[in-house]
Amino acid sequence: MVEALNRNRNITRKGPVVLVIMDGVGIGKYQEGDAVAESKANMLKHLMNSAPWTKLKAHGTAVGLPSDDDMGNSEVGHNAIGCGRVFAQGAKLVAASIESRAMFEGAVWKKLTSNVIASDKTLHFIGLLSDGNVHSHIDTLKSMIIEAKASGVKKVRVHALLDGRDVGELSALEYFDPFAEFLVGLSDQGFDARIASGGGRMVITMDRYNANWDMVKRGWETHVLGEGRRFPSAHEAIVTLRKETKAIDQDLPPFVIEEHGQPIGPIVDGDSVILFNFRGDRALEITKAFEAAELKEFDRKRFPKVEYAGMMEYDGDLHVPSQYLVSPPSIDRTMAEYLCASKVRQYSISETQKYGHVTYFFNGNRTGKFDQKLETYVEVPSDIVPFEQRPWMKCAEITDLAIEAIRSGSYDFIKMNYPNGDMVGHTGIYQAVICSMEAMDLQLARLKAVIDEVGGILILTADHGNADDMFEHDKNGSVKRKSDGTPQSKTAHSLNPVPFILYDPSYDGEYSTTLRQNLGISSITATCIELLGFDAPVDYDPSIIDFKK
């Protein structure tokens, strides 16, 4: 439990402070491929021309990732905004655990490897095969396989998900082919390691927020049961399925590798399974499929008795999974907890795709509320269609409810997330991203109008970039082009900073309108607390605004 914040008298407003996280909306580096700049986002641009604003760092070490070459993501971004400080995140923790060998000396690793060594069974790895470092990293997987062989494991099977989202949209073979060669180089008469199944991350296995359990069902059938279209190799599967479907990597159908007419890696009784993704949101559902004694979401057909572990603990409150290899960051004293202790009435809203980000991740990877009476959570169900087909997503419905909450007078602090820039940005469909930005901008205009009406404060910001960098560029800044001359789409997040725009129509000189520079998104937290009339905790990262004494 935390103590109530100290109230100061520097600022009072009739209406609430409204924090809008425009997910995936950064400040672009290149003119060509910047869907944010090219869109007719008239309200966003008007506010950037008329209200105080600055740029904030939203990637790399500014959000707890290993280096500034690492793109930010929604999980670490909302962690940082929610807790006001920077914690070492999944990628950094996993890398350190491998380097120190703490992972391999831990009880869970020893238990899972000993299980298959004693019974001459298979050690399975499931996860995203890329170096995107948002959900996983291929080097982590390689290190674990090398260690498994050294420990005496005889058989390894990898169930590899295609990325095409945190890396290039058609980059899978750049990972799968060298990795297959790596496995061949390790294999000998006493050790057999191969890729056993795969599929696009947005088609199988990696659903989140219970949005589409059919994805998990397809993943279970592919990885566990060995059911699905069969190929002699992952390379042939990827090449063939790309040709047939014209899909980018993240949307490629599932496949199973066979030999002599049989799948080479179904998961059976006595095996061990490691989910090597370290990020929690897209790991919880497949984990439940492996751990739940009874599962109502789909028929597993066969439920093998295995030793299962995740790379990390994906939910610290529910303690999911029951076994994990690396402890996640212990994030405490979040803004929501302080505001509850200070009797601040809070309202959090997004659609399904980002609902967990303004609740679970914002609260330091914590499930549930700090105070049932002071907090209201609202989830608008997302459409289950490809995002490029509904690029406006649910931004209008989110705004309808947010405006109702603002006008109600029942809340002091309202936080909301528009997923458009990120979810549509990941499709790589430029026209759809333009549409998503313009749809969101219409809602920003509605929010501004109601803030004017009630006398509140509106903050527009983001957790990371994406829609601002939709084309691949070379080292010289030129757009990479396909054989037909069209730009090569980029589906990954950007390394660009994000905006922080402060719209305060009742401003009365309480603070300097010259905002502080060179800060990260973790500084949003202290800023919100101060605008609510409190002093931020002394160890929070500094506020973006400078209050006059």
Taking the C-alpha atoms of 224, 225, 229 and 235 in order, what is their torsion angle to the nearest 10 degrees? 30
* Residue 2 in domain: no
Domain that holds residue 320: 91-326
Q: Is the pLDDT of residue 317 over 70?
A: no
How confident is the model at residue 417, as a pLDDT? 98
Q: CA-to-CA distance for 503 and 18, rounded, in angstroms?
A: 10
pLDDT (tens digit per residue) in 104-156: 999 999 999 999 998 999 999 999 999 999 899 999 999 999 999 999 999 99
- Active site amino acids: 74
How confident is the model at residue 316, as a pLDDT? 67
| CATH number assigned to the domain comprising residue 275 | 3.40.1450.10
Please give the mean pLDDT across all residues of the chain: 95
User: 10 Å Cβ neighbour count for 505?
Assistant: 16
Q: What is the DSSP string of 202-255?
A: TTSS---TTS-HHHHHHHHHHHTS--S-EES-HHHHHHHHHHHH---GGGPPPE
Whether 311 and 417 map to the same domain: the answer is no
Whether 305 and 356 map to the same domain: the answer is no
Q: CA-to-CA distance for 157 and 178, rounded, in angstroms?
A: 16
pLDDT (tens digit per residue) in 447-481: 999 999 999 999 999 999 999 999 999 888 999 99
Whether 209 and 290 map to the same domain: the answer is yes
The answer to whether residues 197 and 255 touch, using CB atoms and an 8 Å cutoff, is yes
* Residue 43 in domain: yes
| Nearest residue to 515 via CA among 549, 546, 548 | 546
- The one-letter amino acid code at 177 reads D
* Residue 7 in domain: no
* Residue 389 in domain: yes
pLDDT (tens digit per residue) in 172-191: 999 999 999 999 999 999 99
How confident is the model at residue 458, as a pLDDT? 98
pLDDT (tens digit per residue) in 300-316: 999 999 999 999 988 76
| Nearest residue to 222 via CA among 174, 441, 214, 487 | 214
**Number of residues assigned to the chain:** 549
Mean pLDDT for 204-208 is 95
Whether 72 and 95 map to the same domain: the answer is no
- At 27, list the tokens: 């400040």
Whether 172 and 302 map to the same domain: the answer is yes
Q: How many domains does the chain have?
A: 2
Q: How confident is the model at residue 549 (pLDDT cuts 50, 70, 90)?
A: low
Whether 84 and 95 map to the same domain: the answer is no
Q: Is the pLDDT of residue 541 over 90?
A: yes
Instruction: Please report which helix (H) or strand (E) contains residue 97, including its range.
Output: helix 90-100
* Residue 536 in domain: yes
pLDDT (tens digit per residue) in 73-86: 898 999 999 999 99
